[in-house]
Each structure stands twice: as structure tokens, then as C-alpha cells.
Amino acid sequence: MSKSALKDPIIYPVKYDINTATELNDQIRNQFSDDENKQSLLIDYPTVYIIDDPEKVNQYTVYVGETNDIQRRTIQHLDADPKEREDFFKLKNAKDVKMYVIGHEHFNKSMTLDVENRLMQYLSSVPAVKKLNNRRHNEQNKYYDSQEFNDLFDKIWKKLGKQDPKLFPAKKILESSALFKASPFNKLTDEQLRAKTEIIDKINQALVEQRNKNVENGQLILVEGDAGSGKTVLMSNIFYDLVHEDQLNDKEEPDSHKKLSVSMLVNQDEQLKVYADISRKLFEKDDKVTVEKPVSFIKHVQPDEKVDIALIDEAHLLLTQSSQSYSNDKRYPDVKVGTNMLKDIVKRAKVVMAVFDPKQVLSTSAVWTGNKFKELEKSIGEKNIIHLHNQMRIDASPQTVKWIRDLVDKGIVGKIPKDPTYEIKIFKSPAEMQKAIEKKDKDHNNGISRMVATFDWDYSGGKRKLPKGQDYWEVSENGWKMPWNKEINTRDKFERRHHSKNHVKYSDLSWAEKDYTIDEIGSTYTVQGFDLNYVGVELGPSVKYRNRKIVHDPSESKNSKATQKRNSTESYADELLKNEFNVLMTRGVHGLYIHAVDPELQAALEKAAE
């Protein structure tokens, strides 16, 4: 059925209180007195409902559910549930609480569960939603009329937006947010679903073994996959399920109940904000959840007081050698730590799940030297390593994905393939590329687009005086220049357009989501792990083309974390600069724009685009 032929959903707004609930069916009959079919769709058939409490201006607490009997379920929420659950107690006693009842002639159980899940995904990304309550995932496979789901949901969301545009803003605004893309309510692929089932089973098994045996260290589960293979979505999905899993699957003691203590560990500042937002919106105060940096976790959790589960996103950023901040923290003088963060975390959790991509290790202090990583893999066993192979980020043909991988992995500049879904474009100057990215970013159908660059220009983050004549630490070439990431934010009082329109603090947003960063240029430290719809990559002088192959020149890089030697003798600069190149070239969902400072590389790229 075409979208135009699909009938509009029924949206029935009603006051949420016990008096209304006891008369809800009669109210529906009165409201639709001239249409018995609409009455029946809301009273006799499955419906989805949204309860919202506008606690303060632009701050909502929301509950989403589905039911086969809306009156009975509403009475239950107002009568029995407040005695057992704090969220329903608060909703019952709050003022001005509203409920939207949603019906449609094509609703069946699977369809309503899918709608409920998608509503959770979008509402969790709404800045005005302070708290979102639900207790389950509702991922559905194919079912009758499932092909109509996307079109039907569009109609539902658009109609809800007419009721309350602050609670239900335009979909395109939400779809560009980092929180939306990392939402635990994203529908998983078959590969991700298989991986999730396997991981949850392994976690439960490890917890049972830990409880029944005196095991010194916890079980490590590794999830490996290239950039864009869906690792973060899988992680957030498992994170949500584990926090809401209040019973350990134990065949010997099936009635034993226990809230699991779960720590989400993230060593990347921008991604840390995303998980903190997920935790704040979706979990309760009595949930045993922490979202923190690995160093903080290692310092305050002792090996004899293990948490149940530690989840590590971007584990390739963990340090593998001692450092001043890691090993010698004056706040914790009595805490004994080793020289490897991952191993220290394993000592402090009964089970650890870590997402790891060797191609995204960016600093010398995070390198696994020699065969140590292979030894780690061997020690935990192949059965505890989950591999993700599908490319989830880059919406392109296999030929385009292969072109990017050949460029990054092999240094080969092949002929750029024609692709109707993904645009690769070579620019003669960075100024032209910047204008093109700005144009893409202004088009809200495209979402967020940003400029990024290899770390080949000085940047000290305010630790040193700026060079004479410069207002910012910046990327520059032949008269063109752009401030490095986080420079405008710290030095100018920019107009807070995003804050005034969408009611969200800038400090809660990742770098790319802040509107003014269209005038900055990002680095691996601000975009690793994130999607950009179109990315403009300025390849600095460290990326060269010699003898028909891309090479990386450490002498041209300003990234001391990648170029410094380990133990004063071992250099990993070639590998790490290649990894930096990999991170930047794999950010774009719909397009990759490139300009190279090196004349030979630029010429090779222009020829490849002919």
C-alpha cells in the first residue's frame, strides 16, 4: 500500500487521572459518536499510548506503552502500579498529566510493539524529555503489514507533533543527534541480534560461575569490528537490557532476584556524554549504574568489591602502560594499579564486555606491543570473541566501501566508483570544500555535516600562548584557515541558537551537535565513534603519495600522542597515523569530501575522480 493510501492514525488526547480512566471507554464513544469504527479501534483493538507529565517548562517525564484494553490498563497504572513503582506514583500525583491514545486499523500486537519501540527511540532523543520510562525492548521481525511500518510511524509522529511540537519535534532534528544514533532502541540487524543473544548468554553464564566459584578475575568478552560496524548500537542495547534485567538466569536458584551493578566505561569525552544522557533519561535512581571514565572506575572500585558487569566502549583507547594520571593519582594514594587499564578493569568486575578495534588505536600509550593482544585473545578463547563484519555507517555500494578500505588499508588510490547513494568528491581547495560542507549542513534533510583534519597543525588547548597574529589554534593553508575543535567554544560567546530553540545545554551535547562547530574543524579526538552525514577531510602534510601509494610521514604530524616513542625507543607512528586516517575517512554516512595538502596525493585523487 502506498503512503498516500495508508489511512491516518487516530490520536486521542485525554486527561490522565482516575476519574477519566474509569469512564475512558464512554468518553471515546462520545468523542467519536458518529464513527463506530474509530470507537472500536481505540476500545476493542490494540493501541499504543503515551503518558506525559510536563514537570517544568520544556521538561517532560514520559511513559510509553501498548495494550489490548486501554481502559483496563490505564486504571491499572493509576490504581495498582503506584503501589509498586515510583514512576507511576509520581505520574498519578502530578498535575496536568496527559495521555495520548493511538489507534489504527492495521494495528496488531507486533505492529504496536514496533511502534512502542520506535517511540522510545525518538522520545529518548528529545531534549525536552527529562525522563523516559519503559521496561523492555520490543524488537519485532517481519509480520503481516510490517512493510507499512515506517510510513505509518511517520504519520503517527507528524500528527503527534501537531499536538505538542516541543515533545514531538521534527524527526529530522532528532535523527541527526548522537543520542538517537546510539539509542538502545535502534532496531538491530540479524548479525547484531545474534551477537547480543550470544553475549547475554555468556554474561549470565559468567555471573553464575563467579557466584558459585571463588574465581580471582572476571570473564572478558571482546566484541571486535571495523569502524561503522554497529558496535556502539549493540553496546547501548545490551547496556539497557542488563540494567533492566533484575533476575540472574540461574537454573539452580531460579527464584533468586538481584539488581545487577553495571558500570559503563568510556575513555572518550564526547561518547561519555551520550551514555550519561542515556543513563539519566532511561534508568532509575535505585539502579546500580555508573557511567564514568576508566581511570575513575579503577581508582574507586577495589578488586575485592567487584561490580557485576563492566562494559567498555572504545576499549582501544585504554592505556596499556603507566601514566601520571593513571598510575600516580594523588586522590587515591593507596590504590594499587598495574600498567594496563583493561587488565585492571577485569580485576574489578565479575564479567567485562569490551568493544575493540585495533585499527582505531590512536596513541602510543594505548598500543598493545608485540604479540600481547594476540596473547590476550588466546587466553580468553575464541568462544569469547564476537566479530561484527557488516558495515552499518557508510550507506554506500560494496564498490564504494571497498574503495575507501583500499585507500585506508592498502594506500591505493583507485578510480572512484559511481554511486547514487554515496558521494565521494575531491576539492581543489579547502575553502571550496568548507563551503560545500556548510551547504550540506544547512539542508536539514542531510543532518549534521562537519569539517575534520589530520592532526598536522599545532594545537595546545590553551596550554601555551598562541603564535603571534593568530586568534585561535587553527588549521590553515594558503590564506585559508579554520579554528580547531573547541576553540570557538572556549574563546567566544557565540549566539546560543541551539539552546534557545531546542532547550538543551551546550555542555550536554557532543562537539558535532553544537551548531557553531560548523565554523570549526574536528579531529579524531572529537569525532571518533560518531557519525557525520557528510564529512570534509583536510589531509595535512603527514599524508603523502609516493611511488603510487599513500604513506604517512610522522615528521609532518603534530600529534605527539601518536608520534612519541614508547620507552624512548619504540615508535608506532606509522601504524597510529594510519589509524588516525582510518577514523577520519570513515565518519561519513552519505558522503566523503577530500582535499590533500600534498600535491602528489591531491593530483592522484583528482585523477581518480575523473
Task: Tell me, yes or no, whether 156 and 238 share the same domain.
Answer: no
Q: Count the domains in the chain.
A: 3
- 129 in any annotated domain: yes
Task: Tell me, yes or no, whether 106 and 240 share the same domain.
Answer: no
Task: Tell me, yes or no, whether 328 and 227 share the same domain.
Answer: yes
Q: What is the pLDDT of residue 279?
A: 94
For 437, the 3-state DSSP assignment is helix
- Average pLDDT value over all residues in the chain: 89
Residue 559 pLDDT level (bands cut at 50, 70, 90): very high
The Cα 291–Cα 264 span in angstroms is: 5
The Cα 275–Cα 550 span in angstroms is: 36
Q: What is the pLDDT of residue 249?
A: 47
Beta-bridged to residue 423, according to DSSP, are: 591
- 393 in any annotated domain: no
Task: Tell me, yes or no, whether 554 and 419 share the same domain.
Answer: yes
What percent of the chain is modeled with pLDDT above 70?
88
Task: Tell me, yes or no, whether 14 and 128 share the same domain.
Answer: yes
Task: Tell me, yes or no, whether 559 and 433 share the same domain.
Answer: yes
- 2 in any annotated domain: no
Task: Tell me, yes or no, whether 361 and 451 share the same domain.
Answer: no
Task: Tell me, yes or no, whether 69 and 123 share the same domain.
Answer: yes
The Cα 592–Cα 545 span in angstroms is: 19
> What's the pTM value of the predicted model, to 2 decimals?
0.89
The Cα 416–Cα 282 span in angstroms is: 43
- 350 in any annotated domain: yes
Lowest mean pLDDT across 95-99, 334-338, 340-344, 367-371: 334-338
The C-alpha cell that represents 179 in the structure block:
543520542
Task: Tell me, yes or no, whether 383 and 471 share the same domain.
Answer: no
Answer with the one of 388, 414, 443 that is the final residue of a domain.
388
Task: Tell me, yes or no, whether 158 and 211 share the same domain.
Answer: no
Looking up residue 271, the CATH number of its domain turns out to be 3.40.50.300
Q: Is the pLDDT of residue 151 over 90?
A: yes
Task: Tell me, yes or no, whether 382 and 416 share the same domain.
Answer: no
Q: What is the pLDDT of residue 542?
A: 98
Determine the average pLDDT of the residues in 110-115: 91
Residue-range definition of the domain harbouring residue 51: 10-175
The Cα 44–Cα 238 span in angstroms is: 35
Q: What are phi and psi of 232, to 5 degrees?
A: -70, -40
Task: Tell me, yes or no, whether 510 and 533 share the same domain.
Answer: yes
Answer with the one of 145, 175, 205 that is the final residue of a domain.
175
Determine the average pLDDT of the residues in 537-565: 97
- 134 in any annotated domain: yes
Between CA 406 and CA 414, with CA 409 as vertex, the angle to 5 degrees is: 25
